[in-house]
Amino acid sequence: MDSLYMAFSRETLADCVKLHMHREYFENLHHWLPLDVCDRHRADYVETQCTGKPWSPQQCCIDQFKYDRRTPMLFKQEWAGSAIVALSSKTYFGLGEKNKQVSKGISKKQNQFTHQQYLDVLKTQKSRSGTNTTFRSTDNEIRTLAQQRCGLTYFYPKLIVLDDGVSTAPLLL
């Protein structure tokens, strides 16, 4: 699955929608995101959202939300926070109420990279290694295998990283 990272200039996505577009936004939001509203209560939901009143979902709406969270083709919020350093789609560190560290191919339990280490890789363009330790059984003996891997890499093969180190351009093949 691919990921989409977004930053909002407001507290929520709904706060970014222009007032005259609120009704259309809330009427169609269920096509894109799981919502705590069922079809039977959708009109009430739209009305409360457009008038700024609090929404109190009934049990049928909560059940619908649980179902929609598992529905393919809807966007799901995986994490929310105040800052992110994304070296690639599978290598990023997010700062928030609960920090999120992702480094594909490197064990999180054995390699606790920090936000600053991700930022240093982005700024210096120098990769950082990590260690994966596993157990192997060979000839009736159990051995410990420690493998050094490139844990945080600046290299991104899908786009051209521009001189500012953040912006990208399409890779023309």
Residues 102 and 62 in one domain: no
What pLDDT does 162 receive? 87
Measure Cα distances from 165 to 7, 79, 82, 121 in Å.
Answer: 18, 24, 20, 10
Print the SS3 string covering 148-167: EEEEECCCCCCEEECCCCCC
Which residues in the chain show pLDDT less than 50? none
Residue-by-residue DSSP string for 126-138 = --EEEEEEEEEEE
User: Is 5 among the domain residues?
Assistant: no
Residues 88 and 62 in one domain: no
Q: What percent of the chain has pLDDT over 70?
A: 98
Residues 92 and 164 in one domain: yes
Q: Structurally, how many domains does the chain consist of?
A: 2
Residues 88 and 160 in one domain: yes
Residues 163 and 139 in one domain: yes
Residues 43 and 95 in one domain: no
Domain assignment of residue 154, given as a range: 83-170
155: tokens are 């290299």
User: Is 8 among the domain residues?
Assistant: no
Torsion angle of C-alpha atoms 91, 65, 6, 97, degrees rounded to 10: -70
Residues 55 and 112 in one domain: no
Residues 114 and 161 in one domain: yes
What pLDDT does 166 receive? 79
Start-to-end Cα distance in the chain: 23
Residues 44 and 100 in one domain: no
What pLDDT does 1 receive? 52
Residues 111 and 44 in one domain: no
